[in-house]
């Protein structure tokens, strides 16, 4: 018998950039790739994003730093579908993660952007079903914590203009 | 600005029928239609289901009993995608609901089937994001409570054979 574990988490972040600039880092394929998939310790095998409702984002990668844990033969993949997009306000997407082709989680994620002073308050909410041998919610939340930090670094490097 | 509300609920049910019979009531389009969309008070405008991973189920309907609340011009629609199917064990699907074409919720739902004696323990878990003017989690949970009762009635009518 298979097993299924359900879990949710919410991460709230503030960025010193207007909502339209933060949203652009999610909607522009080049910007998204820069903070979402690139970075030390990752070996990106493929990445493509078609950012519109019903469109898909697909990536596959190895954790180079994680060889002790995952082994160099382990290929991870992320298949995302964008369910709803409201520019500068909300993105809702569904994604599944697989290890060597075996799906180990399916998630519903929502990203909400709102203006706060000159900056943006971002709320990331994920509900996930984890299957046998899945990474589990703590590692998943840690992964998104890191990604949302990388998003901030990416925005800061782009500067504070319009 | 739009608003988004996140909510989850779990419903657990027991049926006096084996998992393969309960699962069949979800996987067979005729059976699914019988308990999922038909019934007093519903005016079904369209229904189709393609039950495989990546396949869709689409329905549109009016609540005839609810004219006071919803108005006779109100058309609801449910667009579902099946994300994962393990026969007799687990179904995971994503669905959005719309009122006259305006989407008001997106959900991740999971149905788990396990044998318990001669019968089945079913666990239904839904995580939903509700948008402006959405029905909200209490009405949604009540809707699934009713559907899962209808599923039981449907199974009982089919009898207790293999």
CATH of the domain at B139: 3.30.530.20
CB A91 within 8 A of CB B106: no
Distance CA A155, CA B4 (A): 25
Domain of A130 in residue numbering reads as 4-39+82-158
CA B17 from centre of chain:
19
Q: What's the mean pLDDT when you consider all of chain B?
A: 90
Residue B68 covered by a domain:
no
Q: What are phi and psi of A29, to 5 degrees?
A: -60, -40
Residue A55 covered by a domain:
no
pLDDT tens digits along A52-99: 999 999 999 887 765 555 556 789 999 999 999 999 999 999 999 999
Give me the interface pTM, i.e. the ipTM.
0.84
**B82: nearest Cα among B106, B51, B114, B118:** B51
pLDDT band at residue A135 under the 50/70/90 scheme: low
pLDDT of residue B34: 93
Q: Is B147 on the interface with A (CB under 8 A)?
A: no
Residue B62 covered by a domain:
no
Q: Is A46 on the interface with B (CB under 8 A)?
A: no
Residues in chain B closer than 8 A to A83 (CB atoms): 94, 96, 106
pLDDT of residue A89: 97
Number of structural domains in chain B: 1
With a cut of 60, say whether residue B71 has pLDDT above it. no
Residue B67 covered by a domain:
no
**B8: nearest Cα among A7, A70, A32:** A7
Alpha helices by DSSP H, listed for B40-112, are 67-70
Residue B56 covered by a domain:
no
- Which has more pLDDT, A115 or B42? A115
Task: Please report where in the chains the tokens 């108005």 appear, as a residue.
Answer: B71
A92:B106 CB<8 A: yes
Contacts for B159 with CB less than 8 Å, ≥ 6 apart: none
Q: Tell me the two tokens of residue B128.
A: 């939903």
Residues in chain B closer than 8 A to A6 (CB atoms): 8, 10, 110, 125, 127
- Which stretches of chain B are assigned E, i.e. beta strand? 4-15, 42-49, 56-63, 76-86, 90-99, 102-116, 119-131
Determine the straight-line distance between the first and last CA of chain A, rounded to whole angstroms.
54
Distance CA B72, CA B63 (A): 8
- Which has more pLDDT, B147 or A132? B147
Residue B55 covered by a domain:
no
> What order do you get walking across the sheet with A4-15 strand by strand?
A4-15, A119-131, A102-116, A90-99, A76-86, A56-63, A42-49
With a cut of 80, say whether residue A106 has pLDDT above it. yes
Residue A52 covered by a domain:
no
Residue A153 covered by a domain:
yes
């Amino acid at each position: 018998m298979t097993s299924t574990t359900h879990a949710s988490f919410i991460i709230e972040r503030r960025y010193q950039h207007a909502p339209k600039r933060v949203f652009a880092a999610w909607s522009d394929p080049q910007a998204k790739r820069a903070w979402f998939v690139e970075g030390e310790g990752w070996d990106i095998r493929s990445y493509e994003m078609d950012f519109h409702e019903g469109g898909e984002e697909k990536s596959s990668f190895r954790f180079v730093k994680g060889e002790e844990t995952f082994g160099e033969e382990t290929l991870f993949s992320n298949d995302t579908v964008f369910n709803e997009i409201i520019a500068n306000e909300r993105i809702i997407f569904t994604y599944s993660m697989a290890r060597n082709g075996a799906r180990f989680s399916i998630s519903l994620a929502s990203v909400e952007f709102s203006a706060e002073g000159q900056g943006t308050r971002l709320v990331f909410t994920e509900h996930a079903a984890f299957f046998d041998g899945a990474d589990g919610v703590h590692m998943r939340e840690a992964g998104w914590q890191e990604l949302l930090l990388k998003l901030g670094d990416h925005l800061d490097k782009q500067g504070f203009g319009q």
